[in-house]
Chains A and B, each alone.
Chain A
Amino acid sequence: MGANEFLFLLTGLKWTVFLSVIGFVGGGVFGLGVALARTSGSPLLERVTSGYIAIFQGTPLLMQLFVVYYGLALIGLKLDSWVAVSIGFTLHASAYLGEIWRGSIEAVPKGQTEAAKALSLNYASRMKDVILPQAIRISLPATIGFLVQLIKGTSLAAIVGFTELARAGNIISNQIFQPLLVFGIVGALYFVMCWPLSLFGARLERQFATATR
C-alpha cells in the first residue's frame, strides 16, 4: 500500500470524523428536546417521544439511513448525499441520546425538583440551573458510550454509498487486492478514535460509582 492509498484512507477518516461530529452535535440538540418532552409530564408529548425512541431503537441503523436517504428525495428535496446521511445520523442520535438523558433526568432525586419548585423557580430555570447540571454528570458515561457507538455506526454510510473511512477501505482493497492489510489499517484507525473515548467513559463510570457508594 502506497502513500496515495493511505492518503485516500485519511480523506475517508476526515468524513468519518465529520459525520460523527454532526451526528453527535445535531443529535445532542434534538436529543435534549426529546428528553425534555419525554419528561415533560404531558401525556401527548410523552407518548409521541416514546414512540419516536421505540422506532429508532427497534430498527437497524442501516434501514434508518436508507429510509431517510430515499425519503428525503421522495419529498422533493435534492440534497447532497453527505447532508442526507447527516440527517439520518442526527435523527438516530437524537433518539438514543434522548433516551439516555431521559434516564439521567429521572435519576436526579425528586427532592431537587420539589426544592426548586418551593423556591418558585420556573420550569426553564429549574431545568437549566438545578436538574440538568446534575443529570449531565449522571449521563456522561452512557453519553460517551453512545458516541463510540455513533462513530462505529458512521461506517454504515458506506453501504448507502457515501465514501467515509469504511468505504474508502473497501475501494482501496478492491484496487490493491490486500483486504486484510487494508481492513486491518481501517480497523486500527477506528480503534484509535474509539478506544480513548471508551477508556475515558469507563473511568468516569468508576469515579461515579465510587462517589455514590
Chain B
Amino acid sequence: MNYKLDFTPVLDGLPSLLTACLGTLFLALGGMALAIVIGIGGVVLRDSRIKQLRWLVMAFVELIRNTPFLVQIYFIYFALPLLGVRLDPTPTAIIALGINGGAYAIEIIRGGVQSISKGQVEAGLALGLHKAQVFRLIVLRPALRAIFPSLTSQFVLLTLTTSVASAISAYELTSVAQRIESDSFRSFEVYGTVTLFYLVISWLMMRFFGLISSRYFSYPVK
C-alpha cells in the first residue's frame, strides 16, 4: 500500500462544503415541512367518507413506499416540465423529498390518531372539557407524543436521503462533494470527510428533536 492520503483538496474545498451543509439542511427542512402537510392531509383524506379518496391515498402510500427514492426523483424531475412546471433541481428535490416523506408520515400519523381510544375522548367530555380542549389535550398531544420517536427517525432518514438529490444535481452536500472529487480525484478523502459531516448533521437533528420532545412531551403519563 503506497497510497498517501492527501486532504489538501478537502481543506481547500472546506468553505464550499460547509456552505453545502446548509443546502442539505434546507432540503431536509423543506422536505419535512411538505411531508407533514402531506401527512396530515393524507390522514384526513384517508378517513374521508368518499371511497375513491380513501383508495387514492392508500395507493399513493403503497406506491411511494415500495419504489426507490432515486426512481421517484427522476420521475418527478422529468414529469414536472411536462405538466408545465419548470423548477430548478433544488425545489424539485424538495418536492420529491416531501412526497416521499409524506407517504411515510401518513402511516405514522394515522397510527398516532388511532392510538387514542374513544373512551379517552368521552371521558374528557364527561369531565366538562371543551371540545377544543379535548382535541388539544387528549387527542393531539398524546398522539404526537406517541408518534414522535418514529417521526424523528423518519425525518433523520429523510435528511440522509437528501444525498440522493445529487442525482439531479440539486444544491446540497453530496453534489458539492462530487464536484470536488472530480476536480481532485481524492475520492476517499472527500467522501470520508463528507460522511463525517452527515454523521454530525444527523446527530444534531436527533438532538434537536430530542429537545423538542423533552420540552413538549415530557409530562407524566399516568
Chain A residues at the B interface, C-beta cutoff of 8 Å:
55, 58-64, 66-67, 70-71, 73-76, 148, 152-153, 155-156, 158-159, 166, 169-170, 173, 179-180, 183-184, 186-187, 190-191, 194-195, 198
Instruction: Name B198's contact: one of A58, A155, A159, A166 (CB within 8 Å).
Output: A58
Instruction: Tell me whether B195 and A59 are in contact (CB under 8 A).
Output: yes
**Beta-carbon contact of B78 and A62 below 8 Å:** no
Query: Contact check: which of A71, A74, A190 meets B67 at CB < 8 Å?
Result: A190
Contact A71 B188, beta carbon cutoff 8 Å: yes
B interface residues, Cβ below 8 angstroms from A: 1, 3, 62-63, 65-72, 74-75, 78-79, 82, 156, 160-164, 166-167, 174, 187-188, 191-192, 194-195, 198-199, 202-203
How far in angstroms is the closest Cβ of chain A from B31? 14
Given A76-B1, A183-B75, CB of A156 within 8 Å of CB of B164: yes
**Cα distance A59–B199 when bound, in Å?**
5
Q: Inside 8 A of A74's CB, which chain B residues have their CB?
A: 1, 3, 188
- Quick one: given A60-B160, A170-B74, A194-B66, are A180 and B167 in contact (CB under 8 Å)? no
Q: Which residue of B is nearest A196, CB measured?
A: B66
Q: Look across to chain A and name the residue whose beta carbon is closest to the beta carbon of B167.
A: A159
Q: Contacting A194 at CB < 8 Å: which of B67, B72, B203? A: B67
Q: How far is the CA of A195 from the CA of B65 in the complex (A)?
A: 9
Give the Cβ gap from B182 to chain A, nearest Cβ, in Å. Answer: 12
Count the A-B residue pairs with Cβ separation under 8 angstroms: how many? 111
Pairwise interchain contact B63-A152, C-beta atoms closer than 8 A: no
Q: Are B68 and A190 in contact (CB under 8 A)?
A: yes
Whole-angstrom CA separation of A8 from B124 in the bound complex:
62
**Closest 3 interchain pairs by CB?**
A179-B78, A155-B68, A194-B66
Chain B contact residues: over half helix, strand or loop, or mixed? helix
Contact of A63 (CB < 8 Å), options: B70, B72, B195: B195
Q: Are B74 and A64 in contact (CB under 8 A)?
A: no
Establish whether residues B66 and A198, one from each chain, have CB atoms under 8 Å apart when the complex forms.
yes
* Chain A neighbourhood of B74, CB < 8 A: 166, 169-170, 173, 179, 183
Q: For A198, what are the chain B residues with a Cβ–Cβ distance below 8 Å?
A: 62, 65-66
Do B1 and A60 touch across chains, with their CB atoms under 8 A apart? no
Nearest-Cβ distance from residue B155 to partner chain A, whole angstroms: 13
User: Of all chain A residues, which has the CB nearest B160?
Assistant: A60
B77 nearest in chain A by CB position: A179
Q: How far is the CB of B205 from chain A (nearest CB, A)?
A: 9
With A60-B164, A155-B71, A198-B65 already in contact, 14 other A-B pairs whose C-beta atoms are closer than 8 Å:
A59-B198, A59-B202, A62-B163, A63-B163, A67-B188, A67-B192, A76-B1, A152-B66, A155-B68, A156-B70, A159-B166, A187-B67, A191-B66, A194-B66
In Å, the complex CA distance between A173 and B75 comes to: 11
Give the distance to chain A from B108, nearest Cβ to Cβ, in Å: 13
Asked if residues A63 and B198 are in contact (CB atoms below 8 Å), the reply is: yes
Contact A184 B66 (CB under 8 A): no
Nearest to A154 among chain B residues (CB) is: B68
Kindly name the residue among A67, A75, A198 whose own CB sees the greatest number of chain B CB atoms within 10 A.
A67
Q: Are B188 and A184 in contact (CB under 8 A)?
A: no
List of A residues within 8 angstroms of B162 by Cβ: 60
Contact A70 B188 (CB under 8 A): yes
A190 → B minimal CB distance (Å): 5
Distance between Cα atoms of A62 and B73 in the complex (Å): 15
The answer to whether residues A60 and B198 also contact, given A70-B187, A180-B78 and a CB cut-off of 8 A, is yes
